[in-house]
Chains A and B, each alone.
Chain A
Amino acid sequence: TAAAPRPWRLFGAMCLLRLPRITQPLEKEEEEMAALMGQIELEKSLYSDHEIRKLEEEQQLRRRKESAYDDDDEAPGKTVIMAQDLEDKWEQKLLQFEAAPRITDADKNNNRTSLNRKLDSNLMLLVKQKIGNQELWLLPQVEWQPGETLRSTAERAMAMFLGDHVQAKILGNAPYGIYKYKFPRAIRTEDNVGAKVFFFKAFLQSTDLSQAELKEDYLWVTKDELGDYLKSEYLKKVNRFLLD
């Protein structure tokens, strides 16, 4: 069957997400609730072995101080480790450990090209592409070629901008969103009315992209920062399929 020439050109775009690496900070209500839950748990609990040991040792100390006991009779030459000493030792050990900071250097410099920024939220890849005669910031897209599925078009788009060694988990065969626009009247013809861009979502799984050679300008931005770069209509459609 001869297919009628369709007026829309098809593009496949890939929305590559770097998932968060650390937990988001708790809201005020969440923190209050967490504190309350801790208190209730403490009230409903029984004494543990360590606490009983601590209480008994405190009692012994008090008795010794009051009655001016002679220690040497009780424990000749034996060094008794008190529960309190153990707790102090553990506290010291904890203070010695230094965890990696949650706010990285890239955060402080606001270096939007690095992946180490904003570790608690999703980051999306944006590239600067030439559409018509304009240079626009877009999700990486590439024109569909007959003979391939749209998903492979999106994969090709990703490979074109990030190289072959990128590992990403594409979430399913179906597109997540669509943006269609008509070409400006000057370029519009009978056969070429406009373009439809189908968006696919993928999770970035390879941790370092040092091997990727990006020829164009690229950025990793969060959902809130998308507004700085994308056009309003495009942004509206993209925001629909992005969960924060």
Chain B
Amino acid sequence: AESMSPKSVPPHALCSFSFLSSWLPQTVPFRGSHWQTSLLAFRASLPMRAQPKKKKKVDVKREQAQKDRMKKKIKKLEKAAPEMIPIEDFITPLKYSDSNRVRSLPPLSFEETERRVLLMKKWCLFKQKQDKAEKKAIQTLLEAQQEALKELRLESEELYQAAIRRDEGLFPFERDGPNYTPPLPGYDPPEGKCVDITKVYTQ
């Protein structure tokens, strides 16, 4: 004869036990079943006790099914194309699309546009001449070198071979370019710390 008193609850009644705990007003800890040996070992003993009741195959199958589902999800995620790293230079921030930002300048006069066009043409010619002169200089450089190598070959073959060999120590060649003014001797630059806040994206 089963009674609903707290002391004698059937051992397999997991769900009925929780029902029991919900409507019991008292807060005194009690043993869930007579299978429980101590009050403190509540959580540990119950599932252990319940395990022999479950069939092992169902467990293994469920776990395997779960693993497969997880693997499928991972494969799907991997197959999806990697997210593009945004080029921050090409995205104009929204605060620059305000209309009050637009510069108000008087329109260009006819003389000004004419002057600009003529200047562009002069510049084109200037750059063309500069480029031609550079190319010519490089050509003479190459010719002089070829001549020197030819003469060297006439002199001695081994020196020629030594000259043709690639110079490994030449590249990478680094040099600081020229500035507008030469460095000031004894200049003490002001103290300061530079904090780099560029965002780094990883794919």
Contacts and interface: CB of A to CB of B under 8 A. Distances in A.
A23 B144 contact: no
B113 to A, nearest CB: 12
A29 B143 CA distance: 32
B190 to A, nearest CB: 10
B116 A36 contact: yes
B150 to A, nearest CB: 9
A173 B123 contact: no
Contact of B184 (A52, A99, A180): A99
Interface string B33-52: 00000000000000000000
A55 to B, nearest CB: 9
A172 interface: yes
A178 B162 contact: no
Interface in A165-196: 169-178, 180, 196
Interface in A1-45: 3, 6, 8, 10, 19-23, 27, 29-30, 32-33, 36, 42-43, 45
Interface in B157-203: 159, 162-167, 170, 173, 175, 178-185
A23 B180 contact: yes
A243 interface: yes
A240 B139 CA distance: 10
Given A10-B155, A172-B167, A150 B162 contact: yes
Contacts of B149: 174-175
B141 interface: yes
Contacts of A43: 103, 105
A6 B163 CA distance: 19
A151 B170 CA distance: 13
Nearest to A10: B155
B137 interface: yes
B175 A19 contact: yes
B157 to A, nearest CB: 10
A22 B101 contact: no
Given A29-B123, A46-B102, A175-B148, A240 B143 contact: yes
22 contacts: A3-B156, A21-B178, A22-B180, A33-B123, A36-B116, A46-B103, A47-B100, A47-B102, A52-B100, A100-B183, A149-B159, A150-B152, A150-B159, A170-B167, A173-B163, A174-B145, A174-B164, A175-B152, A177-B148, A178-B151, A241-B144, A244-B137
Interface of A: 3, 6, 8, 10, 19-23, 27, 29-30, 32-33, 36, 42-43, 45-47, 52, 99-102, 104, 119-120, 149-151, 169-178, 180, 196, 198-199, 203, 237, 240-241, 243-244
